[in-house]
Amino acid sequence: MKYYIIAGEASGDLHGSNLIKEIYKFDPNAIIRAWGGDKMKSEGAIIIKHFKELSFMGFYEVLINLKTILRNISFCKNDILKFNPDKIIFIDYPGFNLRIAKWAKKNNFNTNYYIAPQIWAWDEKRIKNIKANIDQLYVILPFEKDYFENKHNYKVKFLGHPLLDSIKSFKKPKKADFFNKHKLDIKKEIICILPGSRKQEIKKILNIMLKVTRVFSNYQFIIAGAPNIDLEFYNTIISNRNVKVIKDETYSLLSNSKAALVTSGTATLETAIFKIPQVVCYKTSAISYFLAKIFVKIKFISLVNLIMNEEIIKELIQDNCSKKNIVKELKKVLDLKNRNKLLDKYEKLISLLGTSGSSNRLAKDIVLKNKF
């Protein structure tokens, strides 16, 4: 069969690559055309648009890039018509994907949505679009199944969280080998910095995170470089600080870290699964934050706290994201007593995510269900 996959972010590229690998197990002759990144390409997909061309964060950023987004929507529709896939698989990226899904359903394409739009956070009326235009919705957060089925009377499937697959398949390098490879100081523990995967996001937050490095001189701070961001971009922000960037080795870096400073999003959950204490640091443009305060209806911004329904990791947002506060909270998570309490909470969190093998279960369901 022919599959058309649309992922617009780094996390979607990761989950899409795991899905593609499993699709080929059930459909060895599959032809997969996709919007994604290098990971999806390495698993055999023909990449039409790279996600680094598509990532616009926040209300204001979307508004000023509206022409580009509209051109991409038009291009996508035409490309789907030419390819004529048996199944379309949307991965997250709801602002774009829900628009394409509405059009695709009108044109009688089979529509599958993986990683549900977070309508529980804002714009709940999107449920009408989902019900009308998505043949099968797959959720990855445990509370979402209850939310969609009991509140909106819409059947969904929870097959486990895909990060469990990614992290289970990861082989941790020996500490000495990792430190030697990157010329790190073996006598100092690492504090990992994960500032996001979008340039405008990194510009807002990284400089604030780096202000605390001199306070923790007994540690070495290492930035987990996003695969779509050039080293030169990081270097303009780092300036003369003694901080290194390690690209494309986030899991190796996290697994060898003592603590982490993390923006919101998938990275908070990855850090928790690796059982690394963390502090969430988040800042966006004043306009985007103002609009978010009006429209977003959630208590927390990190997936960790959302799943647990309590603040088990500290979230420093906007004006609270300051050098003083980051130093205070980082000292807390480095304290042994606080670390152990947090690690106990992490264990409960991981148990809620299901079992590994979700990508295989998803591929099997998509490939074998309603097979043409």
Answer whether 331's CB lies under 8 Å from 345's CB. Answer: no
Share of the chain above pLDDT 90, in %: 77
CA atoms of 60 and 14, how far apart (whole Å): 27
Whether residues 301 and 212 share a domain: the answer is: yes
Whether residues 201 and 128 share a domain: the answer is: no
88 three-class SS: strand
Whether residues 325 and 295 share a domain: the answer is: yes
One-letter amino acid of 361: R
Nearest CA-CA partner of 198 in 285, 272, 269:
285
Average pLDDT over residues 350-368: 95
Give the pLDDT score at 46.
98
Position 123 confidence tier, pLDDT thresholds 50, 70, 90: confident
Compute φ and ψ for 225, nearest 5 degrees.
Answer: -75, 135
Q: What are the C-alpha distances in Å from 236 to residues 140, 217, 231, 232?
A: 37, 22, 9, 6
pLDDT single digits (tens) 187-233: 999 999 999 888 878 988 999 999 999 999 999 999 999 877 889 99
Whether residues 60 and 135 share a domain: the answer is: yes
Domain annotation covers residue 165: no
**Which structural domain range is residue 216 located in?**
172-352
Average pLDDT over residues 16-38: 96
Whether residues 104 and 239 share a domain: the answer is: no
Average pLDDT over residues 48-76: 73
Phi-psi region of 309 (alpha: psi -120 to 50; beta: other; left: phi over 0): left
The structural domain count of the chain equals 2
What CATH number did the domain enclosing 80 receive? 3.40.50.2000
Domain annotation covers residue 166: no
Whether residues 41 and 131 share a domain: the answer is: yes
Give the highest mean pLDDT range of 45-54, 191-200, 319-328.
Answer: 319-328
191 three-class SS: strand
pLDDT single digits (tens) 142-183: 999 999 999 999 999 999 999 998 898 899 999 999 999 999
pLDDT mean across residues, the chain: 91
Q: Which residues contact 186 (CB under 8 A, 6 or more apart)?
A: 175, 176, 179
Predicted TM-score of the model (pTM): 0.84
Position 249 confidence tier, pLDDT thresholds 50, 70, 90: very high
Domain annotation covers residue 167: no
